[in-house]
């Protein structure tokens, strides 16, 4: 859950200065993350019922989240950072039904 709200408060001004983006552009990061999670959470339930075991889904989504983290860490422009965060959101959203 920390990953969902991390950028909301902690890094707003730092990221805006680093990537030279406006205050109107930055919410795409937060909104996009929540939107992707809202889309993939119902899909993950179907994946658990039809195709994958809990262990397979957990390991796969940790891998997807890690890929998103690496992309975000290596981002040199805002669009690349945004793509990395959206990939992280997919990994987070697919794992959430396992824990709740």
User: Which residues, including other chains, have CB under 8 Å from residue 23's CB and lie 6 or more apart?
Assistant: 16
Q: What is the pLDDT of residues 9-39, one digit of tens each?
A: 666 677 777 778 887 877 788 888 889 988 8
> pTM of this prediction?
0.80
User: Which residues, including other chains, have CB under 8 Å from residue 83's CB and lie 6 or more apart?
Assistant: 71
Map tokens 């109107």 to a residue: 24
Q: Are 25 and 15 in contact (CB under 8 A)?
A: no
* Domain extents in the chain: 2-20+27-99
- Total residues found in the chain within this entry: 100
Q: Are 86 and 33 in contact (CB under 8 A)?
A: yes
Q: Are 29 and 81 in contact (CB under 8 A)?
A: yes
Assign 100 a pLDDT band (cuts: 50, 70, 90): low
Other CB atoms within 10 Å distance of the CB of residue 37: 20
């Amino acid at each position: 859950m920390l990953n969902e709200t991390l950028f909301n408060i902690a890094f707003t001004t730092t990221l805006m200065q680093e990537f030279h983006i406006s205050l109107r552009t930055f919410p795409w990061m937060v909104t996009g993350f929540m939107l992707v999670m809202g889309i993939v959470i119902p899909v993950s339930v179907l994946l658990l019922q039809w195709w994958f075991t809990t262990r397979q889904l957990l390991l796969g989504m940790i891998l997807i989240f890690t890929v998103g983290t690496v992309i975000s860490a290596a981002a040199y422009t805002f669009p690349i950072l945004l793509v990395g965060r959206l990939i992280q959101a997919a990994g987070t959203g697919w794992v959430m039904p396992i824990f709740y």
